[in-house]
Amino acid sequence: MAVTKTRKLTDLFRVGTEFTVDDGNGAVEVYLAKLNPVQSETAIRKANATRAKFLSTVRDKEGEDYLSIANEVYDLDKESLVLYAASESAAKKVDAWQSEFIADSEWLKDDYLQGLFDLWNGDENEPGLEKIFNEGEEGNRDPEAQRVFDEVERYENEVATFIDKERSHIEEEMNSLSLDQLRDLITETMIRVQADMTWMIEYRKCEVWLGTYTATQPRKPYFATRGEVDELEAETLTRLISGMGMLNVEVDEGKDLPLTEDSSLLSEPLKILETEEFSVLEESTP
């Protein structure tokens, strides 16, 4: 007679999957499980601590972390510094500029712009004009689809022109700064970016540490310590991070909610792991 395994409370709602990593010389099978709330809190605390450690060491202007970032900045000429600083500042204002443009234009009247987008995109019950437009041949497309396309294109061109004008004002402002002021400004920006990336990489590593189990015993942690994750080759770690990320995406499918922070940020650490920058950030992790 078959024996039915008795489930425990800790088995309820647990989300996981078998996962294989193969380097061509033999596969290794593990079991990946989505972090529970306690594990997630542990990962967040460690990521916060790693970010704080990086920020505390990088403030020493004679230290290696600061000098490494400053070295990259000092290699740039003033024109490049101005463009970098202006782009960074403009990126934070694009949404506001777009809203400002729409507020004082014909596009907002009678919800004209929204109506164009609705016609173009369609909905669950009726396909939009985009499909009809793409199916037609140039010079012989559906007149209504062509009209909506032309209007949306006109809107995008007008917005781009407005934003370019506003961005040019920022470039003029940045160009008025001295070389040293620009270097300090961009160095601070790069410090913030690397601090955020350091946080993200540590969180991903903690996901791998806490969410990887042996394939034959899905309740037995694969890694005994967080440090063992640092011993993995970059390709192995990248694949495990990808596996955890896909697991988080699958959990959110079907929900009327945006993707979780875990899944939406997946692409960035994967890119970093494949670049030389990873080695710099790696030195900042415990």
Three-state DSSP state, 144 = helix
Q: Which residues are paired to 32 by β-bridges?
A: 17, 212
198 or 251, higher pLDDT = 198
Q: What is the pLDDT of residues 135-179, one digit of tens each?
A: 888 778 889 999 999 999 999 999 999 999 998 999 999 999 999
pLDDT digits (tens, 9 = 90+) for 171-204: 999 999 999 999 999 999 899 999 999 999 999 9
User: Looking at residue 91, what is its pLDDT?
Assistant: 84
Tell me how far apart the alpha carbons of residues 119 and 139 are, in angstroms, rounded to a whole number.
Answer: 21
CB atoms within 10 A of CB 39: 16
pLDDT the model gives residue 250: 54
pLDDT of amino acid 273: 45
Q: What is the pLDDT of residue 4?
A: 60
Number of helical (H) and strand (E) elements in the chain, helices listed first? 13, 3
* Whole-number Cα distances in Å, 243 to 131, 212, 218, 224: 34, 10, 16, 20
More confident residue, 280 or 174: 174
Q: What percent of the chain has pLDDT over 70?
A: 85
**174-191: b (≥16 Cβ within 10 Å) or e:** beebeeeebbebbbebbb
The per-residue pLDDT for 278 is 40
Structure confidence by residue, pLDDT tens digits, 62-87: 889 889 888 889 888 999 999 888 88
pTM value? 0.67
Q: Which residues, other chains included, contact 200 with Cβ-Cβ below 8 Å and sequence gap of 6+?
A: 47, 265, 268, 269
Task: Considering only residues 43 and 111, tell me which one the structure prediction assigns the higher pLDDT.
Answer: 43
Separation between Cα atoms, residue 68 and residue 249, nearest integer Å = 36
Torsion of CA 166, 169, 175, 178, to 10 degrees: -100
Do the beta carbons of residue 202 and residue 282 sit within 8 Å? no
